[in-house]
Chains A and B, each alone.
Chain A
Amino acid sequence: MDVNQVLDAKGLACPMPIVRTKKAMDILESGQVLEVQATDKGALADLTAWSAAAGHTLLEHKEEADVLTFYIQKG
């Protein structure tokens, strides 16, 4: 997958993963992809819901060794 930017939000507690994700997305162009790495378990439900509400597409997410990784395409 073509990733345009990677955001390391590991170790951050809610709401910071989403706050940082939003800031990063604001700078990207439509169609570009942001990879977000987070360890806060709540990020899964929240990033999924936020992406949909903000008009972005959550392309994929995975969980490996307690790290959640998301690929979000800017809408």
Chain B
Amino acid sequence: MAVMKMTAAQVARKVIENKELFILDVRNKDSFEDWKIEGHSFDYLNIPYFDLLDGVDEILPKLPTDKDVLVVCAKEGSSLMVAEMVSEAGRDVFYLEGGMKSWSMYLEPIKVGDLTGGGELYQFVRLGKGCLSYMVISEGEAAIIDAVRFTEVFTNFAKEKNVDIKHVFDTHLHADHISGGRHIAEATGATYYLPPKDAEEVVFDYTPLEDGLTVNIGASQIEVGALYSPGHTIGSTSFIVDSKYLLTGDILFIDSIGRPDLAGLAADWVGDLRETLYHRYRELAEDLIVLPAHFMIIEELNEDGTVARRLGDLFIENHGLNIESDEEFRHTVTDNLPPQPNAYEQIRQVNMGKITPENDEQTEMEIGPNRCAVR
């Protein structure tokens, strides 16, 4: 029977459209438990490829015949080998082109909504890593917020939409993924903004992103306004777009809140995080739609694949916004934190411009989930 290739883009459609898929993940057990392809209706079997060298007969009864079977490994080679064995045993089977490496890199642009005067807001969902980037488009101009490192995805999208990228923002100095912001700005002549309090060690020029800064996209009324909201990092800044959307960076997520420890100062920043979440955000309109820089679990995706929720709803539903005592809050965000993201210290160095690893190395550094939140 046939061995067929499935691309990361095709897998992404299955996630977003809530389709069924059976994943035979042939990486070792630790890798699988640490990080896998998440889908609402996906089933899994994890058997390392090296346990299948003598044949796949033992696992054949466990592979369904009524849905697609996708063999997944780290880079592709092992999944292709196993897929060929499964195929020789008489089953149709897919393998994931480029493996988890390509899954980690794939970005799906999804329209979040229309803005005043014909503008549009897009969310770029990096399903494999849980990263979310944004592009605001209006009257031939664009602003990008929290771009991941695949700069061509953004520049090509801007070309497709026939807009010039004018402003590129990072809400904070990222620790879980490598920012593409500075490089997009260099390639397009856009202005690159970074919160100065996060940028004390950076070795490149940037424009300070200060509380109250506003820029207009296009000639119309679409305003992108900065709101200082420290806690995940000391410089963390949110954006309000068109008085309608609140881009929270890594401060507030749909089902969790930001962790304060990735820049090494959890104890110092707990108070800032509390102040931002329980006071600064409380003063905002509850009808704002929250658009975070990450999602952690697949349940945070809406039916159209976007990650977005009304602020007022999060005040009710998000556990991290409903902790009454300061003491319990401190305990929640400083004790029993999840493991830190892979290579997060190196990633910070890259984002400061201090080191410039080869592309392959950057890919390795970003392997794994983002882990920027506490629940």
Question: Which A residues lie at the B interface, using CB under 8 A?
Answer: 13-16, 18-19, 22, 41-42, 45-46, 49-50, 53
Contacts and interface: CB of A to CB of B under 8 A. Distances in A.
B243 to A, nearest CB: 48
A15 B81 contact: yes
A50 B48 contact: yes
Nearest to B360: A41
A45 B28 CA distance: 8
A53 B30 contact: no
Given A15-B81, A18-B50, A19-B53, A49 B75 contact: no
Q: Which of B28, B50, B78 has the most CB of A within 10 A?
A: B50
B77 A46 contact: no
Interface in B356-375: 364
Interface of B: 28-31, 48-51, 53, 73-75, 77-78, 81, 364
Contact of A53 (B31, B51, B78, B81): B51
A15 B78 contact: yes
B73 A14 contact: yes
B29 A49 contact: yes
13 contacts: A13-B77, A14-B74, A15-B73, A15-B81, A18-B53, A19-B53, A42-B74, A45-B31, A46-B48, A49-B28, A49-B30, A53-B50, A53-B51
Given A14-B75, A14-B78, A15-B77, A50 B50 contact: yes
Nearest to A19: B53
Contacts of B77: 13-16
Contacts of B73: 14-15
A46 B31 CA distance: 10
